[in-house]
Structure 1
Amino acid sequence: MPYPTIPAALLLASAGPIPAPAADAAVLAAADTDIDDQAQGDVVVVTARRREEGVQDVPLAVSVLDSATLDQTGNNNIGRLQQLLPSFQFFSTNPRNSAANIRGLGAPFGLTNDGIEQGVGIYVDQVYFSRIAAATFDFVDVERIEVLRGPQGTLYGKNTTAGAIAITTRAPSFTAEGRGEISVGNLGFVQARGSVSGPLIADRLAASLAVSSTRRRGTIFNVRTQSRVNELDNLGLRAQFLLKATEAIEINLTGDYSRQDPNCCAQIYARVGRTQRPLNRQYDALAAAFGYRPPSTDPFDRLTDLDTPLRAFQELGGLSLRVTADVGPGELTSVTAWRYWNWGPSNDRDFTGLPITTVSANPSRQRQWTQEIRYASTGNNRIDYVIGLFGFHQTIHTDGLQVQGAAASRWLLNPASANANNPAVLAGLTSRNDIDFSNTSAAAFGQLTWRVTDRLRIQPGVRINHDRKTGSYVATVTTGSGSTVLNADQRSVLAPQSYRARFSDWNLSGDLTLSLDLAPDILSYATYARSFKSGGINLSGLPLDAANTPIQSAATVKPERVDHVEIGLKSQFFNRRLTLNLAAFQTAIRDYQATVINGQLGVLRGYLANAGKVRVRGIEADLAARPSARLSLYANVALTDARYVRFVDAPCPPELAGGSAATAASPAAPAGTPGGPSPANCDVSGQWLPGVSRLAASYGGEYRLPATLFGLSGEAYLGVDGNARSRFSSNPSRSVLTDVAGYALTNLRAGFRTDDQKWHLFVWVRNAFDTDYFELLATQPGNTGLVVGQPGDPRTYGLTLSSRF
């Protein structure tokens, strides 16, 4: 059945949508202006445990964001949620190469490898989206988002060792209604969204159609092409049909389509540091040899001269059929879905205006089929349970292409080589990659809640899963003249290789949660979870041995084994005007799947290997308060310690890489010693995991006053939303060159909304103080010392007008 409309994340919609990201909490107000009556408002409904219940009753760290919160804060896709949720991290160099992490865990930091799983599952209307690229699309007609923190393997599967993101869209309505919104801003920003819904057959069949379109000029100017890059160009469509077949059976058919085609994505000059490469093979000397200078050495001038066309075209879509039926004391649900994803990129992976790597693209086509059947019983006063079966199958085909340019020989080859000053040796050197992957997975699961007493509950859960994966990788390398006969220098840059790999395994995961009501509005809980992330296949090429043949032992990676403990407190005080939720946790992962960078000069992609053990522990606090009917406040804080416990053979940071191999007679030189020997690998035990700030926070509030505009009665408001995070590492092995400095961002908004919510007009400023900050940093392949960055958006501002009818 359709979910009931829920209020804003921290406040009831009837009191006005408040963009407070809220945390696990709650509802603090209702329409009546009397504060005591407000406190008795409706409850925020979630389906985190695959059944409807109040968010404060769920013994789980779950954050809830409604559509008004997302709209007013400009969080139009999953990638931007980290501005509201300090425990969430999102990194992306382009849509395919994106990673969503919760509490520092989820996906290896670096370029995407199609043969592995993500650790944060994305679900839209209960359908699993296996492509992380879905996170970069604009939301279309979203009702709410639930972000579940910590392992969710029992109910959500093997791809949720760090957490899950469950998105619920608006169900078709049996009352005719519509919504429209238009936003305009600087940088040519234009966003239009609209939806209509209503009955086709009274009380029997309803339908809805929603559209979203976003465009914005790029934030970086390419002086070579005289065009802007890193722009926005998004289109999304969603249609739904809801059939009430009988009083007990509902059928929901959904189709969606999304497309992006921006001039994107560029990382630009950030800084230069010293590596172990000989000095004449480091960036400054190489650039001088070509007479090359970047258009600016200040990355916040936002200039580049990339000489390869940029493109990040992708489209995804699918169909899903959800059937729910009241059967006995519970509800039977079947969710059948088919989805596809097409990716057509063009990248400049040398990050300069020189013709080093002139083509770097891995166009992909993915198809997936999923089927879930589950039964949720809530009819017993003492016992509730959920049991189910899940099946998944996907195929991926990628046609990779990499072409070296005229500057490649000088840039990539050792000057001692006779070919180093011969552009023809590497010019036109081409690798064509034919990559295939197939994955079939099946699982059975169950979770039970036993109410031992009116206050004490015990919740065990278990899931058994089987995975079968096959993959093949064929790289055919030809010279500029088309020959497949390569010399040693050519093979050192692009080596032909061919391999096939298989992975098959059973895994059992489970959890146990105890929850106790300490008082009517105070819930405590403790959880232990044993989870796993499926093993995988390396599909980005393998490291080569001394004979330049693939090292087959690196073709597969073992599953991650996760042990998680958490204690939490969910509480409301002062007649529910104050909500405070706390969680403390520790997650340990053995055989952590980490990105390792091959030492070969021309290799652009890393591969995966198992680190010994990592550990993440932390404390989270979510606070929401409404001191009066006119003022609401929120603050969410995450203190996280994420480290490698044991990783003795990790890739060395760039300042220790690029030199000759260290030996007992010639030991490794200090970091950043040009020409000094480099260790084969490094022990990074005890170092930070990449992408995780030790301290992150979001905070803000809104103040409202009764007002009249154009003869319409309503309220005027002023709101502020801020977020801050401390320094974090942007490299798999922490490097002095790629630490990203902490930063704080402030967003402002002011507007007017009518009492009946039919009209809403507001102005907004994001990054109001025009703070310069990096989303991430990366190094140029080959350890030249060049560090490139992705600057965060500058100050943006605009106006939004929305209407309901």
Structure 2
Amino acid sequence: MRHHVKCALLAGAAWGVLAGASTAQDAEAAAQAANAGQSNMVDDIVVTARRRDEQLKDVPVAVSALSAERLEQTGATNITALQQQTPNATVQIARGSNSTLISFIRGVGQQDPLWGFEPGVGLYIDDVYVARPQGAVLDIFDIQRIEVLRGPQGTLYGRNTIGGAIKYVTKRLSHDPSLTARAEVGSYNEHNFLVSGSVPIGDTFAIGGAVATYQHDGYGENLNTGQDQYDKDVTAYRASAEWTPNDSLFFRLAWDRVEDDSSPRHGHREVNSLTGGYTPPAGEYDTNAGITGEQKVVTEGVSLTSEYRVNDRLTLKSISAYRSGDTKTVIDFDQTPQPFLDVPALYSDDQFTQELQAVFTGDRWSGVAGVFYLDGTSSGAFDTIAGNLGLAIAAAGSVDTQSFSAFADFSYDISDRLHVSLGGRYTKDDKDASVLRQFFLGATRTPYTGGTARPVFATRTNYSASDTFEKFTPRASISYDFSEEITGYASVSQGFKSGGWDMRGDAALVPQTVNGYQPETVTTYELGLKGSAFDRRMNFASAVFYSDYKDQQITTQQVATAPAVGIASVVDNAGASTIYGFELEGSAFLTDDITANFSLGYLKNEFDEFITLVTGTPVDISDQRQPQNSPEWSAYYGMTWRGDIMGGEIRVTPSLSYRSDYHLFDAPDPILDQDGYVLADASLVWIAPSKRWEVGLFGRNLTDVRYKVGGYNFAGASFNNSISAFYGPPTTYSARLTYRF
């Protein structure tokens, strides 16, 4: 705690440095020169948040950059580890899923991963946009770093980045032969294996690849079927070829594939059933789910990146990519052997994207301009098997999207210290949708998901629709170098998320569903201060922000028994919010042997309006609603001690992460709302003198905290009082051996 307070005081003192920073600049430069040989100074961090290589302190954007070394050192296994180390971020596995990603940044995101809905946080593998969240829980291997851009990124990253963007940056191939082999074993019969490497062929060409498998037994059990719950069975492949024919040209062809064969993940019933006498299992990872079926997720992508360095001032870049994904899954919403609320589902998507960029660099200016095109299709079908109603409700449909955008962002140095940046993006989405919803008698699968063929009892929804959604999203910033080490900035930025149609919509129950919903927008005002201090023994990045969130697309559930029977979602532009807060993160050398990494986030997210059709007339119930996945406080603190043992280097890293209480749904629910909690992790890594061998021991969630990451709420007699929750991992231990050549 003393070290935690010390880091906070150091970061706070850095703000105070501003008053004397300018006059002390020469003194700082002298101190840096005197300490140039010290190894305990922070390194310059380079990011590509503005689509060009820049030092982190020079970027007027709130960016968290986590290197591969830091992630490996803390034992991070997949992209959800970002949630612990990034302020004001929620990065989780979606409820009822093993590899679908749910992301919120500064209270903005999208919890519903159904096809047709757009995410609120953009995900990029290198510079390739990943439009769908299925299969997006990326395992961490063969990477260079992960960048988390907080706040709207509507200018340079465009559509559906109103909350921010996550960039998964892979390594470029080595000019020398390389090989990495890794084996990891742990609790719950965990066994992970990785082999990656690259081989140069001549002076200008290289090929590389990686294969990784991740497996562990379930944290719990399906007490009805005996099947594992919360297990993992994932295989990932990656291959690339790079050609550099001369100093001006670079080409990279990359392919990746992920196969998830984990067991279906069902939730934990939180309350007694009204029929059948089912009570919550004693273990939070156990279930009594009755539905059976295959769980299979396959995602695949190929991309070609081309760069042409015209001269010292201009570089041209092309990014062509195709991605596809298929999902088969089953979810038991009622968590009982009976089919009160069972959902088998099929998802499919594909996308082609093309981006052209021109990166400019001048004596006092720099920037990037380009165009982006996406042609994608998302489709699916799922059943809602409602045993109490004697029905199986089939929902099927697809959304075709063609998106075009043009963007530019330029920075100009007014003086050696004062810099301005202006940018904007025009986006146009053309969408075509088809939505079908039908009732079948009998509480078994419908023909759409492989069930028995039988007549349609009633067609509730059957329509096709088209619409165009377009928006110009600007960004402007001004930054000032108070010294060579400290930069402050002020910015305003805007992002938008495209409109669409509800694939679950029941036109008989909610006639307005055929009209769809319109885009939502976020405008954010931000002040930031970043850089290094105390003879570069600490680097930090901080920001305060205020966001105006309008036309929020909010999903609510409606259940009816008379005069119309059914269950359906309603998606409307129901909400508007005011969001504000601050963030602080960085690292510091506390002693020559101890380094600290820290982050602190404060988030205040409140609905200004929440319009619903409770009685057929619009009613504002914002005083009864709370934004989801928006903990008021989030924090991380980790220390790494480095020492020498047996001729090699040892690194010991204990860490704590904290999230205050938060809501899983907009409607507060004492059963599903999560109280604040602290996760304690620890790692020990020994690196051999040759640097080729590495041994690591890792413990995660050492105090075995039970915390909810998702849930479903279908209370009432119609669906047997089905309230269920999904939990984060329990205490786990693992040992890892790595060989590098």
Q: Output the TM-score relative to the length of structure 2.
A: 0.89
Residue aligned with 2:109, SS: coil
For residue 118 of structure 1, what is the amino acid of its counterpart?
P
Residue of structure 2 equivalent to 1:403: 385
Residue of structure 1 equivalent to 2:447: none
8 Å contact from structure 2 (residues 461, 507) kept in 1:
no
Change (3 A) 1:295 1:130: same
Residues in 1 aligned to 2:294 and 2:477: alpha-carbon distance in whole angstroms:
47
1:496 matched to 2:460? The reply is yes
Residue of structure 1 equivalent to 2:123: 122
1:347 matched to 2:331? The reply is yes
Residue of structure 2 equivalent to 1:767: 701
Q: CA deviation at 1:482?
A: 6.4
Q: CA deviation at 1:37?
A: 2.0
Instruction: Give structure 1 stretches of 5+ with no counterpart.
Output: 1-33, 273-282, 413-425, 652-660, 663-678
Q: Which of 556, 562, 578 is 2:516 aligned to?
A: 556
Residues in 2 aligned to 1:101 and 1:431: alpha-carbon distance in whole angstroms:
31
Residues in 2 aligned to 1:727 and 1:751: alpha-carbon distance in whole angstroms:
33
1:642 matched to 2:605? The reply is yes
Residue of structure 2 equivalent to 1:538: 502
Residues in 2 aligned to 1:467 and 1:105: alpha-carbon distance in whole angstroms:
21
Higher deviation after alignment, 528-537 or 465-474 = 528-537
Residue of structure 1 equivalent to 2:692: 758
Q: CA deviation at 1:687?
A: 4.2
Residues in 2 aligned to 1:395 and 1:685: alpha-carbon distance in whole angstroms:
38
1:436 matched to 2:394? The reply is no
Q: CA deviation at 1:97?
A: 5.9
Residue of structure 1 equivalent to 2:29: none
Residues in 2 aligned to 1:485 and 1:49: alpha-carbon distance in whole angstroms:
53
Residues in 1 aligned to 2:138 and 2:330: alpha-carbon distance in whole angstroms:
19
Residue aligned with 1:395, SS: strand
Change (3 A) 1:681 1:645: closer
Change (3 A) 1:96 1:466: farther
1:337 matched to 2:301? The reply is no
Change (3 A) 1:718 1:310: farther
8 Å contact from structure 1 (residues 477, 484) kept in 2:
no
1:132 matched to 2:68? The reply is no
1:569 matched to 2:529? The reply is yes
Q: CA deviation at 1:476?
A: 3.2
1:90 matched to 2:50? The reply is no
Residue of structure 1 equivalent to 2:593: 630
For residue 683 of structure 2, what is the amino acid of its counterpart?
R
Residue of structure 2 equivalent to 1:186: 187
Residues in 1 aligned to 2:642 and 2:60: alpha-carbon distance in whole angstroms:
33
Residue aligned with 1:363, SS: strand
Residues in 1 aligned to 2:504 and 2:72: alpha-carbon distance in whole angstroms:
38
Residue of structure 2 equivalent to 1:676: none
Residues in 2 aligned to 1:42 and 1:724: alpha-carbon distance in whole angstroms:
27
8 Å contact from structure 1 (residues 645, 686) kept in 2:
no
8 Å contact from structure 2 (residues 135, 297) kept in 1:
no
Residue of structure 2 equivalent to 1:208: 208
Q: Which of 517, 529, 540 is 2:493 aligned to?
A: 529
Q: Map Cα deviations across residues 351-409 of structure 1 (whole Å, 9 max, x no partner).
A: 22223235x1221211100000010111x1111121101000101231323434xxx23
Change (3 A) 1:271 1:553: closer
For residue 466 of structure 2, what is the amino acid of its counterpart?
R
After the TM superposition, which residues 367-516 of structure 1 pair with which residues of structure 2 at under 5 Å, given as runs? Answer: 367-378=350-361, 380-404=362-386, 408-409=387-388, 412=389, 426=390, 429-480=391-442, 484=455, 486=457, 496-516=460-480
Greater strand fraction, Structure 1 or Structure 2: 2
Instruction: Give structure 2 stretches of 5+ with no counterpart.
Output: 1-34, 443-451
Residues in 1 aligned to 2:227 and 2:454: alpha-carbon distance in whole angstroms:
37
Residue of structure 2 equivalent to 1:103: 106
1:776 matched to 2:714? The reply is no
Residue of structure 1 equivalent to 2:634: 696
For residue 734 of structure 1, what is the amino acid of its counterpart?
P
Residues in 2 aligned to 1:124 and 1:89: alpha-carbon distance in whole angstroms:
19
Residue of structure 2 equivalent to 1:675: none
Residue of structure 2 equivalent to 1:67: 68
Residues in 1 aligned to 2:143 and 2:567: alpha-carbon distance in whole angstroms:
38
Change (3 A) 1:211 1:607: farther
Residue of structure 1 equivalent to 2:251: 251
1:196 matched to 2:197? The reply is yes
Residue identity (%) = 27
8 Å contact from structure 2 (residues 107, 630) kept in 1:
yes
8 Å contact from structure 1 (residues 580, 621) kept in 2:
yes
Change (3 A) 1:310 1:680: farther
Q: Which of 518, 539, 545 is 1:585 aligned to?
A: 545
Q: CA deviation at 1:299?
A: 4.5
Residues in 1 aligned to 2:567 and 2:438: alpha-carbon distance in whole angstroms:
16
1:314 matched to 2:297? The reply is yes
Residue of structure 2 equivalent to 1:165: 166
Q: CA deviation at 1:641?
A: 0.5
Residues in 2 aligned to 1:685 and 1:51: alpha-carbon distance in whole angstroms:
44
Residue aligned with 2:38, SS: helix
For residue 705 of structure 1, what is the amino acid of its counterpart?
G
Q: CA deviation at 1:69?
A: 2.0
Change (3 A) 1:482 1:156: closer
For residue 106 of structure 2, what is the amino acid of its counterpart?
R
Residues in 2 aligned to 1:506 and 1:162: alpha-carbon distance in whole angstroms:
18
Change (3 A) 1:603 1:792: farther
8 Å contact from structure 2 (residues 190, 215) kept in 1:
yes
Residues in 2 aligned to 1:530 and 1:577: alpha-carbon distance in whole angstroms:
35
